[in-house]
Amino acid sequence: MKSLFKSELIKSELTLLIIVLCGVIVLFSAGTPRFLTLGNFGSIAFQLPALGLLTLAMLAPILSGGLNLAIVYTANLSGLTLAWVLISFGGPDAGPLAFALGSIAAIAVGALSGLVMGLVIAYVGAHPILVSLAMMIFLRGLGEFLTRGGDISGFPEYLRPIGHGSILGVPIPLLLFLGVAALWHVLLAHTRHGAAVYMIGSNIRASEYSGVHTRRTLTLIYTLSGVLCALAGILMLTRFNSVRVGHGEALLLITVLACFLGGVDPFGGFGRVLPVVLALIILQSVSSGLNLLGANQHLSTAVWGLLLIGVMMLRHLAGRFDHLKKFCHLKKVNHFRQGK
Residues that bind other proteins (CB under 8 A): 69, 120, 124-127, 129-131, 133-142, 144-145, 148-149, 249, 253-254, 256-257, 260, 266-267, 295-296, 298-306, 308-309, 312-313, 316-317
Residues 189, 156: Cα–Cα separation, whole Å: 39
Beta bridge partners of 171: 166
- Using the minimum distance from each CB to other proteins, give the nearer residue, 38 or 124: 124
Nearer to other proteins (CB atom), residue 185 or residue 315: 315
Minimum CB distance to other proteins, residue 154 (Å): 22
| Cβ proximity of 54 and 229 under 8 Å | yes
Min dist. Cβ of residue 182 to other proteins (A): 27
Q: Could you tell me the CA-to-CA distances from 74 to 61, 213, 259, 314 in Å, in that order?
A: 15, 26, 19, 34
CB of 4 to other proteins, least distance (A): 25
Contact 193, 217 (CB under 8 A): yes
Query: How many helices (H) and strands (E) are present in the chain, helices listed first?
Result: 13, 4
Q: How far apart are CA 12 and CA 318, in angstroms?
A: 9
Q: How far is the CB of 278 from other proteins (least distance, A)?
A: 18
Residue type, 325: K
Closest approach, Cβ 87 to other proteins, in A, equals: 19
Q: What's the DSSP call for residue 166? A: E
Nearer to other proteins, 236 or 254 (CB): 254
DSSP codes, 207-262: HHHTT--HHHHHHHHHHHHHHHHHHHHHHHHHHHSEEETTTTTTHHHHHHHHHHHT
- Measure the CA–CA gap between 204 and 197, rounded to whole angstroms: 9
In the bound complex, what is the minimum distance in angstroms from residue 232's beta carbon to other proteins?
20
Closer by beta carbon to other proteins, 71 or else 94: 71
CA distances from 85 to 82, 101, 155, 165 (A): 5, 8, 10, 23
Residue with Cβ nearer other proteins (161 or 305): 305
Taking the complex as a whole, how short is the minimal distance between the CB of residue 53 and other proteins, in angstroms?
20
**Pick 166 or 291: Cβ nearer other proteins:** 291
- Which CB atom, from 56 or from 245, has the smaller least distance to other proteins? 245
As a whole number of angstroms, the distance between CA 54 and CA 52 comes to 5
Nearest-approach distance from CB 157 to other proteins, in angstroms: 31
Cβ density class 201-237: b for 16+ within 10 Å, e for less: bbebeebeeeebebbebbbbbbbbbbbbbbbbbbbbb
d(CA 300, CA 17): 18
3-state secondary structure of 299: helix
- Residue 159 or 307: the one with the smaller Cβ distance to other proteins is 307
Comparison of 241 and 291: residue with beta carbon closer to other proteins: 291
**Closest distance to other proteins from the beta carbon of 125 (Å):** 5
